[in-house]
Structure 1
Amino acid sequence: MLEKVIVGGVGMIQFSKPGASPSYVEMAAEAVRLALNDAGLSYDKVQQAYVGYVYGDSTCGQSALYEIGMSGIPIVNVNNNCATGSTALYLARQMVELGGADCVLALGFEQMQPGALKSHWDDRPRTRARFMSIVNELTSDVPDLPLALRNFGGAGREHMQRYGTKMDTFAAIRAKASRHAANNPLAIFKKILTTEEVMSDKVMWPGVMTRLMACPPTCGAAAALIVSERFAKKHGLRSDVQILAQALTTDSEDAYDPPSMISFVGSHMTQAAAMHVYEAAGVGPEDIKVCELHDCFAHNELLTYEALGLCPVGEGEKFVMDGDNTFGGKVVTNPSGGLLSKGHPLGATGLAQCYELTNQLRGTADKRQVTGVKLALQHNIGLGGACVVTLYGKN
């Protein structure tokens, strides 16, 4: 018998720009305190912890949690690129569901540096080295652009070439993110932007991307307490949010056959994870009314609509133009403002998504509240690769 898995408490600090944040230790500890307070639970009840971060030395998780208490529990450090936070959540959920523990903490944080993402190791093979020929071939006309921009901009351009998608559609997605973030006190960027303002920003790739279509480096932390229903009842925790299904996928052999930038940035992994989750929960994408998805670039948000089945492949632009990605449409995507406006501290992102969707299902999202929410979908991807799709429901 699998245990029913409950989100017993969530905590998140406001994200900030590099250089303006406290240390990762302070940020992480505060997110844990907020999650414990939300649950009404003391740290001595936590039996295990999975702690995610991308940029940091070994056992940073212990450094952060020792600020809360030195209880001797197992602490496992997790790194799965931008899917790190959701991977920590996946491991916590799995441990509780299989009966290995009744109360597990999932924590994610990042103290980032300004500028484009880069490798900190130059004396060994780089991540995804065996697949770089795909990027080099399909984006050979822009070899000097930062790699993340080539990856996601290249995927967006491929969609434009295949389906006639226009650049201002990606600008409209960024403008939508800003409207949502304006109602989120924890978002880093709250200024409302128009599609025209996004289009007129600094051009990063002519005909493909402006600067505002990419999320900037961000610092922050978020946490969730994952508990069994039995534990929640015993300790008087609220048990109204349940993890119904979850999948973690990696690249498969056929992901790059034929070579495709859309597959390279994770659409293949997303499709596989989403299919698993829908089948496990007995629902379909048509049942989803709110979704937090991985919009590290506006281009990836559109690609993810299609990969999650929220609209047919090739119809992402229509989905945007019809207003089906926002309030009053079919699926409110990223009511938090998403990575584009809320911010993207890599290790914290997946747990920040959990924070938002937990509040949506509780009905405590204030001005961001989506009405009548019974199911909430989360998508978090890390190139290299890992994709985590999580379905939450009202218990």
Structure 2
Amino acid sequence: MRKAYVIGVGMTKFIKPAKANEDYPILAKKALSKALADCKITVKEVQQAFVGYVYGDSTSGQRAVYEVGMTGMPIYNVNNNCATGSTAVYLAKEAVETGRSDCVLALGFEKMERGSLSRKFVDRTDPLDRHENILKETVGINEEVSLPIQLFSHAGIEHMKKYGTKLEHFAKVAYKNHKHSVNNPNSQFQDEYELAQIMDSPNLFGMLTKLQCCPTSDGAAGAILASEKFVKAHNLENQAVEIVGMEMVTDFPDSFDKSFINLVGSDMTKKAAERLFEKTNSKPTDVQVVELHDCFSVNELLTYEALGLCKQGKAGEMIDNGDNTYGGKYVVNPSGGLISKGHPLGATGVAQCAELCWQLRGEAGKRQVDGATLGLQHNIGLGGTVIVGLYRLGFPNSSQKQVGQL
């Protein structure tokens, strides 16, 4: 099995959805052009592409890539809910590792509608019908509120009842991510808030306030992956980031054991992380920087435990100790995470990849994590998929660029 390296990354600024915004082909072109420029290659050298999006017609992937050139390469359209972007990266990685290609594109984009996510097809089975049924059978469902926020709110309440976690702990997660976003020019929001402002912001459902929930977003991100042969042929050792390992899992029977914590994916995350660390002969404490899926503050807190960053039930203690930010054990979501950076579904996982590459290459500007040598990615989509991955410099003895990422 060959190694796969990320040699070029790029993204657009994530922005609030609006009809006047640039359409998805232009957003994709901007992100892809930046990724190609980052590694100084042309699209003619890319042998195939995996393009992720959730809200769009079939073959939108082709339409997006065509903006930078029509080379006849195979283009695969990917849709895996909120884990779509990381799925594109996962497939690109496999294409390189198996020897099918030496240079592959992972691209993600989204042009979304404003407001909460909603069903698009009402004349067929909803892929989240199992989740909805459990909600109905246990605590009841509010037909006026989107399903995800109900599920995550109940998961947070379950954690509080089981482990004594407090509302302040969840709010502190959002406080941290908003604070981190101030230094990210690509972030949809770059505003810092006091903890009280986050807790007192409008309540959206249950225990979750507005500033603890990610927004819908328009945006795109791209990553170019390559083999060692390609890296060396193009003298890219100084910026190549190795994907050390990446695991994808889907739901298990215990996902539907009527625990909301499992229902929102913690069991998937736990199993994927265990496999990843075992296969890469590493452990959570080896990691310095993490980009994880904080669609709601609840999910970030739950994910600390599922990834093994702290013991089960100890996420509140980890937060109180500051072990999720600069100066602590880990820096989690230095980008601002989904809560601040935004969540254009298809682009999110690729943007996480880009952020970790910038961190490991020392190009993250004011949000740079000192001494970052191993980065951890976590991306989840209900319905369900979890992808976790580890990144490190591929050729650490090469001189690294030390310029601020724009």
| TM-score, length basis structure 1 | 0.97
Residue in structure 1 matched with residue 88 of structure 2 by the alignment: 88
Cross-structure match for 1:175: 175
* Greater shift in the superposed pair: 16-25 or 182-191: 16-25
Contact 1:139/1:150 (8 A) holds in 2: no
Q: Which residue of 1 aligns with 2:363?
A: 364
Aligned partner of residue 31 in structure 2, secondary structure = helix
- Could you tell me how far apart the structure 1 residues matched to 2:205 and 2:15 are? 26
The answer to whether residue 59 in structure 2 is matched with residue 64 in structure 1 is no
CA contact (8 A) 2:52 2:77 kept: yes
Letter in structure 2 aligned against 1:213:
Q
CA distance in 1, matches of 2:131, 2:191: 38
Q: In structure 1, how many angstroms separate the alpha carbons of the residues matched to 2:249 and 2:78?
A: 16
Q: Corresponding residue for 1:235?
A: 234
Number of the residue aligned with 1:352? 351
Q: Using the alignment, how far apart are the partners of 1:152 and 1:15 within structure 2? A: 23
Would you say 1:112 and 2:109 are equivalent positions? no
> 1:254 and 1:170 mapped to 2: Cα distance?
25
Uncovered stretches (5+) of structure 2, i.e. residues with no partner: 395-406
Number of the residue aligned with 2:403:
none
| Residue in 2 that maps onto 1:49 | 49
Give runs of aligned pairs for residues 310-389 of structure 1, distance below 5 A. 310-389=309-388
Q: TM-score, normalised by structure 2?
A: 0.95
CA distance in 2, matches of 1:394, 1:345: 27
CA distance in 1, matches of 2:290, 2:363: 16
Structure 1 unaligned blocks of 5 or more: none
Partner of 1:297: 296
For residue 272 of structure 1, report the CA deviation from its aligned partner. 1.0
Corresponding letter in the other structure for 1:211 = K
CA distance in 1, matches of 2:130, 2:14: 34
2:182 equivalent to 1:219? no
Q: Which deviates more from structure 2 when the two are superposed, residues 110-119 or residues 124-133?
A: 124-133
Using the TM superposition, give the Cα deviation of residue 170 of structure 1 relative to its aligned residue in structure 2, in angstroms. 1.0
- Write the distance in 1 (CA, Å) between the matches of 2:93 and 2:166: 40
* Residue 146 (structure 2) aligns with: 146
Residue pair 1:13, 1:30 contacting (<8 A) in 2 also = yes
The corresponding residue for 1:185 is 185
Distance (whole Å) between structure 1 residues aligned to residue 318 and residue 142 of structure 2: 29
SS in 1 for 2:113: coil
How many Å separate the matches in 2 of 1:296 and 1:102?
34
CA RMSD of aligned residues (A): 1.1
Aligned residues: 392
CA distance in 1, matches of 2:194, 2:347: 28
Partner of 1:103: 103
Deviations 1:61-98 (A, max 9, x none): 00111111110000000000000000000000001011
- Following superposition, the deviation at residue 143 of structure 1 comes to 5.1
2:26 maps to 1:39? no
Shift of 1:216: 1.0
Kindly, what percent of the aligned residue pairs are identical?
Answer: 51
* Letter of the 2:326 counterpart: F
Shift, 1:324, TM fit: 0.5
**Aligned structure 1 segments of 4 or more residues deviating by more than 6 angstroms:** none
* Worse-matched range after superposition: 20-29 or 40-49: 20-29
Could you tell me which residue of structure 2 aligns to residue 14 of structure 1? 13
